[in-house]
Amino acid sequence: MNIKQIKLHQLLMKMKTPFTTSFGTQQDRHITIVEAIDDTGRSGFGECVSGEDPLYSEEFMDASIIAMKKYFAPLVIHGEIDHPDDVWEKFKPFKRNNMAKSAIEGAVWDLYAKQNDMTLAEAIGGRKEKVDVGVSLGLEDTDELLLEKVKEKVDEGYKRIKVKIKPGRDVEMIRSIRDRFGDIPLMVDANSAYTLDDMETLKALDEFNLMMIEQPLAAGDLIDHAKLQKEISTPVCLDESIDSYEAARGAIELGSCRIINVKVGRVGGITQSKKIHDLAAHHDIPLWCGGMLEAGVGRLHNIAITTLGNFTLPGDTASSSRYWYEDIITPEVVAEDGVVEVSREPGIGSTVDFGKMEQYLQKTESITE
Ligand code: OSB
Ligand code: MG
C-alpha cells in the first residue's frame, strides 16, 4: 500500500456538556487523529479513542500516543502491507494497546478503501445503506434533569435511549423514566459499577422490560456475569469485558451475555471486529456498535462497521452535534429519526476538514521512513 508517512494530529475538543458515567466525568476530550499518507500523497484517517485517564480501561491517551509513535506507526511504514487485514499480524508481538493499534489500523483501512475507490463499508464487507442509531445519556444530578434529556432525545427520534446507572441511581430513576415515557426502547449501562452482592437491585431492574443491561460487573468477571445472566431476565450486554476475540469466545461459551457491544478501538481494530462479528453471528448473539465520545473520524468508522449484517441493534453513533458545536469532518454525521445514511463517497465518506480542525489542534507529530 506504500505508506510513507504517518501524522498524529493531537486535538483538544471541549464537549458541549460534561458526560458522567459511574467511573467519572469528562468534558475536555483529547483526541488523536491518525493520518496515513501514501506515495501519491493520498491520506487515510483513523481516530484514537483512548480516554484521558485509565478509567474505562487500562489505556489512556498519553500512553497511546507513545505506543503509536514508538511501535505501531513505524511498523506500518516499514512493513509490507497488501491489505489492512495484514496490520493486526504485524502488531501482534506487542501486547494489548488495542486503541493505539486500532487508530493506526483504521487509517490504513480508510487509505485502502480510497486507493481502491470503495467506501470503507464496502472494503469491510458491509452492505447496509443506512444504520439505526440510539443515544447514550450520562448521569445527571437529579432525575428531573435526566428526564429532560430523555425527552429531548425521544423527540429527536433516536431508536433507543441508553442511560447510565450506578448504585443509588438505578431502580427509582428507571421507574421515573418508564412512568413518564412509557414503553420506549430503553437500556441501561453500569460501566462495571455493581457486584453480585447487588443481586437484589439487578433483579429489581427486570420489572422495566429493558432491552439490556450493559456491563453491570467488572470487566474481568465473565464467570460472575454468567451467574448473573442465569438469575435475571434482562439480557446482559458486555462492553468493557470484550477486549479481544478470545474474550468474546469466553463470554459466549460461558453464557456471560446475550448481546455484545463492539467498540472497534477496544478490540484492536476493524479486522478483529469482523472476526468477533462472524463469531457472534454463528452463535446468534446480536451486536451493536458502541461509542467512545469520538469526533467525526471515529464516528464514521463506527458507521462503516455497523453495515455488517449482525449489527442488528441500534448503536451509540448519534449525530456529531450530540457532543460537538463543530465537528472536524464535512459533512458531519447527522441522524434523522434515528437513522444515519452511509456515505457513498470513498473511504470514511466525509472529508477531514483541516480548517475546522485548526481550532482544536495542539500539535501534529510526523513519523516517516
Ligand atoms: O460505556 O459505552 C460506554 C463513553 C465513554 C466511555 C464509555 C462509554 C461511553 C458512552 C458514550 O456510553 C457513547 C458515545 O456516545 O460515544
Ligand atoms: Mg458501555
The residue to which cell 462492553 is assigned: 239
In a domain, 347, yes or no: no
Say yes or no: 309 and 187 in one domain: yes
pLDDT value of residue 350? 98
Pocket (CB within 6 angstroms of ligand 1): 56, 136, 189, 191, 239, 290-293, 316, 318
Q: Is 141 annotated as a binding residue?
A: no
Secondary element (H or E) of residue 110: helix 98-115
Say yes or no: 317 and 251 in one domain: yes
Q: Look at the chain and report how many structural domains it folds into.
A: 2
pLDDT value of residue 79? 84
Nearest CA to ligand 1 atom 4: 292
In a domain, 99, yes or no: yes
pLDDT < 70: residue spans in the chain: none
In a domain, 346, yes or no: no
Nearest CA to ligand 1 atom 6: 292
Say yes or no: 174 and 195 in one domain: yes
pLDDT value of residue 369? 74
Which of 22, 136, 217, 297 maximizes ligand 1 atoms within 8 Å of its Cβ, making it the mutation to test the pocket? 136
As given in the structure block, the three cell numbers for residue 336 are 434523522
Q: Is 28 annotated as a binding residue?
A: no
Dihedral sign for Cα 275, 277, 279, 282, please.
negative
Contact 211, 199 (CB under 8 A): no
pTM: 0.97
φ, ψ of residue 5 in degrees (nearest 5): -155, 145
Say yes or no: 102 and 141 in one domain: no
pLDDT value of residue 49? 98
Domain of 89, CATH number, reads: 3.30.390.10
As given in the structure block, the three cell numbers for residue 232 are 435475571
Domain containing residue 32: 3-118+353-368
Say yes or no: 31 and 141 in one domain: no
pLDDT tens sequence across 352-369: 999 999 999 999 999 997
Q: Please say if 263 is a catalytic residue.
A: yes
Complex confidence, ipTM: 0.99
Question: Ligand 1 centre from 369 Cα, in Å?
Answer: 36
Say yes or no: 105 and 152 in one domain: no
Question: Ligand 1 centre from 293 Cα, in Å?
Answer: 6
Say yes or no: 160 and 273 in one domain: yes
